Amino acid sequence: MPRPRQFDEPALLDAAIQLFWSRGYAGTSIEDVARATTVGNGSIYAAYRSKNGLYLSAVSRYCEGLTAMVRTGMAGCSGDVAATVRDYLELIICDCTSQPGRRGCLMLNSLTLLDRVPQLRPIIDRTMRDLQAILEERLLRDLDGSSAHVDVAALSAHYVTLSQGLIQRSRLGHEPDELRHIADAAVRDTALALAGS
């Protein structure tokens, strides 16, 4: 039976998230996390075994928070598909443009580490699928039984993929108005497609 942790694990992981997110994987050490949290190196190694183990736990917690944010933002029912996808994209735009230094998304930033830390793949894949499922559920409520002519799963996947592109543009310094212009064009295309189907 594993020994209970002798430190505040959520607080340690939150600190690790901030360090990894701001400095990157290579620029963050266990010692950095220890200094930021006053948890000893030995306790961190005992709990996570390695920097990779700590990083996986930090990314998992980050992804859980991202999913919870989107689930809360997508609660309810607008009754309008275009409004729903616009709400989703606005949620992502507001989040990514408010980050210090436009640091993007820790989950997307982690894609560059898949060769080094292959255990990230299922965490990231599951999170993307969870985001798609949340959006799909909201769209199905909006369509309220009239979804026979709409591939709701594909539409949800499309908008989750688009949102990731908006995050990358934000990281490159593109202004919120430009991101909203891209989002609005996609929403108009969707509204036109649905009106013509």
Token digits for 147?
């979804």
What per-residue confidence (pLDDT) applies to 6?
Answer: 77
Indicate if the pLDDT at residue 56 is higher than 80. Answer: yes
What per-residue confidence (pLDDT) applies to 3?
Answer: 53
The HSE-up count of residue 13 (CA atoms within 13 Å, CB side) is 19
What per-residue confidence (pLDDT) applies to 197?
Answer: 61
pLDDT tens digits for range 147-193: 668 899 999 999 999 999 999 999 999 999 999 999 999 999 988 88
For residues 101-119, one letter each, b for 16 or more C-beta atoms within 10 angstroms of the residue's C-beta and e for the rest, the string is eebbbbbbbbeebeeebee
Report the predicted TM-score, pTM, of the whole model to 2 decimal places.
0.92
Q: Which of 54-63, 70-79, 136-145 has the highest mean pLDDT?
A: 54-63
Confidence bin at 5 (pLDDT 50/70/90): low
* pLDDT (mean) for 70-84: 87
Q: What is the CA radius of gyration of the chain?
A: 19
* pLDDT (mean) for 136-141: 92
**Residue whose token pair is 């295309």:** 189
Selected residue with higher pLDDT from 55 and 7: 55
Please give the Cα distance from 89 to 166 (Å, whole number). Answer: 9
Indicate if the pLDDT at residue 2 is higher than 80. Answer: no
Please give the Cα distance from 115 to 136 (Å, whole number). Answer: 31
Please give the Cα distance from 103 to 62 (Å, whole number). Answer: 14
**Please, what are the domains in the chain?**
60-196 (1.10.357)
Q: For the chain, how many helices (H) and strands (E)?
A: 9, 0
State what percent of residues in the chain have pLDDT above 70: 95
Please give the Cα distance from 59 to 53 (Å, whole number). Answer: 10
DSSP state of 95: H
* pLDDT (mean) for 34-58: 96
Token digits for 138?
């909201």
